[in-house]
Amino acid sequence: MVSKTATLFICLIPALTPLFLFGFYPLTYAFYLSFTFYNLKTPIEPYFYGLGNYFALSEDPVFIRALQATGLFALITVPLITLISLGQALLLASQFKGVKYLQVLALLPWGIPLVVSSTVYRLFFDFNFGLFNDLMVKLGVINQYVSWLSMPWSALFIVALAHIWVNTPLPTLLILAGIQSIPKELYEAAYIDGAKTFARFKMVTWNWLRPIMLIVLVYSSLSALWCFDPIYVITAGGPADFTKLITFYTYEKMFSYLNFGHAGAITILILGLTGLLIYAYFRALRLGRVRLRV
Amino acid sequence: MSGQEKVVSRRKFLGAVGGLAAATVVGWGLAGYYAAQPPREVVRTVTQTQTVTQTVTQTVGVTTTPPTTTATLPPLSKFVDIEWGIWSWGVELCNDNARIFNENNTDMKLHVTDLGANYMANLFARYAAGDPPDIYYATPDIAYVVQYRKWAADIEDYFPEARRYLDDIYPGMREFYINPFTGKVHGLCYWAGPYVFAYNKRHLSEAGIGAPPKNYEEVAEQARIIKQKGICEYPIGALWSWGFPALWYNIMLGYHEPKPGTRFLFDEDLNPIFDDRGTPFFEAIKWLLERVVVDKTISPGIREYDESGITTALGSGTVTFCPNLPDYDIAGANVPELKESGNITMCLNPGTGYAVYHPTNYSTSTRCMEKGRDNQIAVWRVMQFLGGKTTNARPDFERGEYFVCNRLIRQYGVTSAYRPVMEDPTNKEVLRKLKIDPDLLLAQYEKLTTILWRDPVLTPWWADWFSSPSSEAGGRVKPKFEEFLTGARSYSDADILNFLKEIAEDWKRAKKEAGM
């Protein structure tokens, strides 16, 4: 028995080593930092600071603004990612000529590095040379180039667009797999019972997909919470901090302000928020156990 | 199952344990915060700051040449390995320079470490880990922090002859190469150049304007004419990202000639002096906002200009003027691929003619110097090769040349703080080929001031407050100012004053947090 356990642990070492090194250790260190005064720009040596970093954050208007921006960003991106993925999956599940090519196209953004796709968006909306301005002028929508990335709401939407573009393929794939696993008999039974298209979608497809949709919600919420690259590349948090999401704020605290204590505290707060979100969604998942009512 | 087992379910048990753990952590944190308030080390007092500033001023003013000391370095008693930390620019050139150095200095080795694009964070992380590179680049905000923390050594402490290099440095730049805390030369120049007032001469000519602006009122007037004639929609641009502080200083300098003791933002005790009507900063903000809101000669999108953005905008004719372009970017705006190639030039900063500059230096770590005399000699050899005068990669102050500085300007047009480098006929010819008028540039070199970096001194939180000259991120003033551009603040005097009061409060808070 002992040797079996030992063998089990030995076999797990390759999997657990990176998990500990790059997962648990940094997290534990961040936890330690969050209770430490640790600012590399001051000559003050690190010391135990209790909840000082957390108190300091609660008084920092930029932190509050970053939280608000993150919430707003999630409010925009989560429903859109969910709806677009559902729409795409329904389309790709249909049988028509060329659907295979569409499936490849739908997955393409997933294969492009975030920095690259973000740079494309930045250039696309550039206020001097951006293609978007050119198109809008040619279509007569605007009569002169507009600095879209310098207006708070348009900047936020552009960042959201870049984020959505990259984060839609995975949920699409999940939902598509879900749709393809629906037994045909359910549709046939619904058809025999006289259910129209919308009723069939509501009673069969939607009910079957509900657990998957909740996973998509978890995924899209967490990706909104962790979104960094588009902000870094496209807006750098501006204009006027309007697109400064919590991740970018953490980055600033860590790598620009070199305030490791604050950065550690924010990391722990994000971790807590992530945990809460996952808990809430999984609770919802349990309550919403699939009950097909055909 | 017993009744007791039903009461203490696994879920309840886990919940209780979790709650207890959370309560313990919070209690521990609170207890730590309230009970264990450690003494904060106040390193610099106001009095010290004053003294330091006075020392610097006196030192620069009185003498630059030290007592004569022989520059001949004794041979090394053991083989020494020196690590040179660089950022990710010109990596091949750096490696090639290291190769040349090693070929001529066989008793030691210089090796290059690329600290990456996130240079400052990586450098400081190396310091925090107790393993800094021996010699590395420092921008003003980096130099200040490493001096403040005593991480960096003053090269003059070990080699007094380093002070002789001050004679070769343009007067307006000298002060930067002196540690404000000690009055000693801390390192030699890597590169340095002014933020110049760049303009498009074709735009001016097409608008019927005969000469570049002589003051900032003329900048506004010429921009209005250029816009009215449909030559350029938003004639005034600027390097916003890392040139943000320089932009304000160049505008302020346009109106106010710097004199000994001139202060724009802070007094000797580091108290804000800008948060009132009529201060230079107030007037500079008002000037810029009037161009944005009234004349509409500055786009609210000005905030999107990073270095490549403003260079391309100039070169493509999207803007006519840029008051704070790094000098070497004139070459970038004139590359043949751009529409306005050959039309982008510079003039003295309108008004007083004075401008600020961006310097960098080679710093050496205290840790390197503590390794012993051999390391000190080796790093001084390296520093002189990279930022001083050598013959065959060996120090030679009397007859040597600024080998690496010359390479930088000849290959990339990267300018220097040293007069012999800038006035070298070959280098001037190189600048001409890069479409940079060397005579105009040298005229600006003669009218430089260190006030951007010595107003009266930098502080550890300066870059976090104003925005870092070595990073795109950070800064409290910049996002708050952007509220004017987004329309969240009006450009009325009252709103400008409110803005100044707010950022003054931010400054005071940061100063208090730093224990100063």
A247-291: pLDDT as tens digits: 999 998 988 888 999 999 999 999 998 888 888 877 776 654 544
The answer to whether B286 and B491 have CB atoms below 8 angstroms apart is yes
**What pLDDT sits at residue A98?**
87
Query: Do B206 and B263 share a domain, yes or no?
Result: yes
Q: Give tens-digit pLDDT for B282-324.
A: 999 999 999 999 999 999 999 999 999 999 999 999 999 999 9
Residue A177 one-letter amino acid: A
Residue A294 one-letter amino acid: V
Q: Of B304, B306, B477, which to mutate for an interface test with A (greatest number of A Cβ within 10 Å)?
A: B304
Q: Check which CATH number belongs to the domain holding B351 and give it.
A: 3.40.190.10
Distance CA B136, CA B365 (A): 8
Inter-chain touch A254–B476, beta carbons under 8 Å: no
The answer to whether B305 and B238 have CB atoms below 8 angstroms apart is yes
Q: Give tens-digit pLDDT for B421-456.
A: 999 999 999 999 999 999 999 999 999 999 999 999
Which residue in B399, B397, B398, B402 sits closest to B415, CA to CA? B402
Query: Do B340 and B488 share a domain, yes or no?
Result: yes
The answer to whether A179 and A90 have CB atoms below 8 angstroms apart is yes
Query: Do B303 and B255 share a domain, yes or no?
Result: yes
Distance CA A3, CA B312 (A): 68
Residue identified by tokens 């309007």 is A242
Query: Do B217 and B342 share a domain, yes or no?
Result: yes
Distance CA A192, CA A190 (A): 5
Question: Does B166 fall in a domain?
Answer: yes
Query: Do B61 and B167 share a domain, yes or no?
Result: yes
Strands B80-86, B108-114: pairing is parallel
| Token duo for residue B302 | 């000005």
Residue B127 with chain A: CB contacts under 8 Å? 40
Inter-chain touch A43–B38, beta carbons under 8 Å: no
Residues 6+ apart with CB under 8 A from A51: A35, B26, B29, B30, B32, B33
Inter-chain touch A43–B32, beta carbons under 8 Å: no
**What pLDDT sits at residue B5?**
46
**What pLDDT sits at residue A279?**
84
pLDDT, chain A, mean? 90
| Token duo for residue B51 | 């003294």
DSSP B73: P
Query: Do B94 and B232 share a domain, yes or no?
Result: no
Distance CA B158, CA B380 (A): 9
For chain B, give me the number of helices (H) and strands (E)?
23, 10
Question: Does B292 fall in a domain?
Answer: yes
Strands B189-200, B344-347: pairing is antiparallel
CATH number, domain A33-110+164-267, options 1.10.3720.10, 3.90.230.10, 1.10.645.10, 1.10.10.10? 1.10.3720.10
Distance CA B343, CA B202 (A): 6
- CA distance to partner chain A, nearest, from residue B72 (Å): 36
Residues of chain A with pLDDT under 50: 288, 290-294
DSSP 3-state of A17: helix
How far is CA A114 from its chain centroid?
Answer: 12
**What pLDDT sits at residue B42?**
36
- CA distance to partner chain A, nearest, from residue B465 (Å): 10
Kind and range of the H or E run holding B386: helix B373-387
Distance CA B306, CA B313 (A): 10
Distance CA B226, CA B207 (A): 6
In chain A, whose CA is at the least distance from the CA of B144? Answer: A41
Of A40, A51, A62, the CB nearest to B124: A40
Residues of chain B with pLDDT under 50: 1-6, 38-70
- How many alpha carbons lie under 13 Å from residue B366 in its C-beta half-sphere? 11
Query: Do B214 and B346 share a domain, yes or no?
Result: yes
CB pairs under 8 A between A and B: 133
Residue identified by tokens 């002060």 is B175
**What pLDDT sits at residue A258?**
86
Question: Does B5 fall in a domain?
Answer: no
Residue B313 with chain A: CB contacts under 8 Å? 128
Question: Does B136 fall in a domain?
Answer: yes
Inter-chain touch B241–A236, beta carbons under 8 Å: yes
The answer to whether A236 and B472 have CB atoms below 8 angstroms apart is yes
Distance CA A37, CA A51 (A): 10
Of B29, B479, B486, the CB nearest to A50: B29
Which residue in B18, B112, B136, B9 sits closest to B470, CA to CA? B136
Which residue in B240, B250, B200 sits closest to A147, CA to CA? B240
Give B290: exposed, middle or buried? Use CB within 10 Å, 0-12, 13-18, 19+: middle
Residue identified by tokens 């060397």 is B438
**What pLDDT sits at residue B26?**
65
Query: Do B117 and B172 share a domain, yes or no?
Result: yes
Query: Do B168 and B238 share a domain, yes or no?
Result: no
Of B43, B472, B486, the CB nearest to A152: B486
For chain A, give me the number of helices (H) and strands (E)?
15, 2
The answer to whether B137 and B86 have CB atoms below 8 angstroms apart is yes
* CB-CB neighbours of A27 under 10 Å: 14
Domain count within chain B: 2
- CA distance to partner chain A, nearest, from residue B318 (Å): 7
DSSP B178: B
**DSSP sequence for B130-149:** T---SEEEE-HHHHHHHHHT
Q: Model ipTM?
A: 0.84
Distance CA B82, CA B48 (A): 34
Omega into B235 within 30° of 0, i.e. cis? Answer: no
| Token duo for residue A287 | 């309550």
**What pLDDT sits at residue B471?**
63
Query: Do B154 and B291 share a domain, yes or no?
Result: no
Residues paired with residue B357 on neighbouring β-strands, in sequence order: B194
The answer to whether A110 and A104 have CB atoms below 8 angstroms apart is no
Distance CA A36, CA A48 (A): 5
Inter-chain touch A43–B150, beta carbons under 8 Å: yes
3 state SS for B415-480: CCCEHHHHCCHHHHHHHHHCCCCHHHHHHHHHCECCCCCCCCCCCCCHHHHHCCCCCCCCCCHHHH
The answer to whether B441 and B419 have CB atoms below 8 angstroms apart is no
Of B43, B473, B486, the CB nearest to A43: B43
Inter-chain touch A147–B241, beta carbons under 8 Å: no
Question: Does B224 fall in a domain?
Answer: yes
Inter-chain touch A50–B32, beta carbons under 8 Å: yes
Inter-chain touch B33–A240, beta carbons under 8 Å: no
Distance CA A181, CA A174 (A): 11
**E-strand stretches of chain A:** 36-37, 47-48
Residues paired with residue B86 on neighbouring β-strands, in sequence order: B114
The answer to whether B171 and B159 have CB atoms below 8 angstroms apart is no
Distance CA B327, CA B170 (A): 15
- How many alpha carbons lie under 13 Å from residue B55 in its C-beta half-sphere? 15
Q: Is the dihedral of CA A125, A129, A135, A138 positive or negative?
A: positive
Question: Does B407 fall in a domain?
Answer: no
DSSP 3-state of B358: strand
Q: Is the dihedral of CA B322, B323, B324, B325 positive or negative?
A: positive
**What pLDDT sits at residue A95?**
85
**What pLDDT sits at residue B64?**
44
Residue A252 with chain B: CB contacts under 8 Å? 473-474
Query: Do B238 and B288 share a domain, yes or no?
Result: yes
Q: φ and ψ at A177, to 5 degrees?
A: -60, -40
Residues paired with residue B109 on neighbouring β-strands, in sequence order: B81
Inter-chain touch B486–A254, beta carbons under 8 Å: no
Distance CA B511, CA B232 (A): 43
Residues paired with residue A37 on neighbouring β-strands, in sequence order: A47
Residues in chain A: 294
DSSP 3-state of B195: strand
Query: Do B171 and B272 share a domain, yes or no?
Result: no
3 state SS for B281-314: HHHHHHHHHHHHHCCCCECHHHHHCCHHHHHHHH
Q: Of A125, A150, A276, A286, which to mutate for an interface test with B (greatest number of B Cβ within 10 Å)?
A: A150
**E-strand stretches of B140-299:** 152-153, 189-200
Distance CA B360, CA B362 (A): 7
Of B26, B41, B233, the CB nearest to A43: B41
- How many alpha carbons lie under 13 Å from residue A210 in its C-beta half-sphere? 16
Distance CA A201, CA A197 (A): 6
- CA distance to partner chain A, nearest, from residue B138 (Å): 14
Q: Of A41, A54, A146, A258, which to mutate for an interface test with B (greatest number of B Cβ within 10 Å)?
A: A41
Residue A239 with chain B: CB contacts under 8 Å? 303, 479, 482, 485-486
Inter-chain touch B300–A242, beta carbons under 8 Å: no
Residue identified by tokens 């739908």 is A106
Determine the structural domain holding residue B464 and report its residue range.
193-356+458-513
